[in-house]
Structure formats: structure tokens, C-alpha cells
Amino acid sequence: MPKLRFHYFDFPGGRGEPARIALRFANIDFEDIRFPAETFVESTAGFMLKQVPVLEIDGQQITQSNAINRYVGKLAGLYPKTDFEQLLCDETMDIVEDITTKIVPTFFMQGEQKKSAREDLCQNIFPKYLKFLEQKLTAAGGEYFADKRLTMADLKTMMLTAHLCSGALDHVPKDIVSQYAPLLVEHITRVSQHPVYIKGQ
């Protein structure tokens, strides 16, 4: 087994949490390097792209959360083995990444600018993407997004939808997910009660 060092913020959730959960669930030895948001600049100074998550594998830095999720998912047995089911898993993770990249800029806004941007997300972005994710979940059988079992796609989706429901995002109603994709609310419960998630926390 290669030596693994994982760099990400010191909070549960976000882009880095699915990989951390998978590694802990599978009892894979890794160095969990966490840092507060306040030290982001210093903590990422040694990274070419100055962003996280970063997974070091025997000293080689790997970026991009979905690439990391695929690699870790294979190590942990949480990534499909057939080409088509891998495609479904990847599609779901990329959809969630699309949503995340639209939310992140609003974290750096203040006042009316943030309010306006978040309201636009609620009116024009979240409904479309949440409905699409629900359709994909239904097409895959209604419980999990790929392989008829929990995969990295489910962990990544649950991180996002649970955050949207948490009330932590100003100007985003806590019922935004249930409004447009009630099956995703059931999915949050299913994943949060799954042994993979429970053990990996």
C-alpha cells in the first residue's frame, strides 16, 4: 500500500469528505492533514494549483476531487467495476461538482451581492440540477446512483444535499431540496444511516 497523505479543511463535508469517509471506512492507513480556513493560503503554499483537496501518494501530489474519489473509491471498494456503472458514478459526481462550482463564488460575497447571487441559484440553478439528480437516482433504481449499492457518487451527493438542507447557507431555504427533489431527501437519510458512512465518520 502506498503512503497516503490527505490535505483538506478541518471540517466535515465539502469536496474532501467523501474520500476521507471512504479511507476511514476501509481502514486504509493515511495521514489526515486538516487545517482551518483561516490558514488556507499558508496551508496550500506548496501546491501548484493552490487548492484542495490534495492527495499525496508516495509524495506525488494529486489534485481534483473526483479523480481522488475514483482512486480512493477503488481502494475502498466503493467504485463500480463495470464500464457503464462507472460512467453513472462519474456522471453523478460531475453533476455535483457543477453545482458546487456555482456555489463557491458566493462564499466570497457580502450583503446584497451575496443575497442576489444565492437567490439566483435558488431560482435558476438548484431546481434544474436537483431535478436532474433525482431523475438519475430514479433511473438507477431509486436508492443509489450506480451499481445498485452505495458508491462514491452517493457520498458526494449526500455531502452537497445535506449542506443545502442544513440552513448553513444564507438566503438558501432549508427546504430547497424537498421542494424540487424529495427523493434526494430520502437519499440523505439512506446514506447517513449506511454502515459505510457511520464507520467512516
Question: pLDDT for 124-168, tens place per residue?
Answer: 999 999 999 999 999 999 999 999 999 999 999 999 999 999 999
Q: Which regions of the chain carry the CATH code 1.20.1050.10?
A: 83-194
pLDDT of residue 1: 84
d(CA 15, CA 71): 15
Mean pLDDT for 103-129 is 97
12 pLDDT tier (thresholds 50, 70, 90): confident
DSSP-derived 3-state class of residue 173: coil
Third-level CATH fold of 4-76: Glutaredoxin (3.40.30)
Question: pLDDT for 47-96, tens place per residue?
Answer: 999 999 999 999 999 999 999 999 999 999 999 999 999 999 999 999 99
Check: CATH 3.40.50.300 for 83-194? no
d(CA 29, CA 31): 7
149 DSSP β-pair partners:
146
Question: pLDDT for 134-146, tens place per residue?
Answer: 999 999 999 999 9
pLDDT of residue 97: 97
The identity of residue 33, as a single letter, is I
pLDDT of residue 31: 98
At residue 32, what are phi and psi to the nearest 5 degrees?
Answer: -95, 95
Q: Which regions of the chain carry the CATH code 3.40.30.10?
A: 4-76
Neighbour-count burial of 25, counting CB atoms closer than 10 A to its CB (0-12 exposed, 13-18 middle, 19+ buried): buried
d(CA 110, CA 85): 41
Going 133 to 170 to 179 to 141, the CA torsion angle's sign is: positive
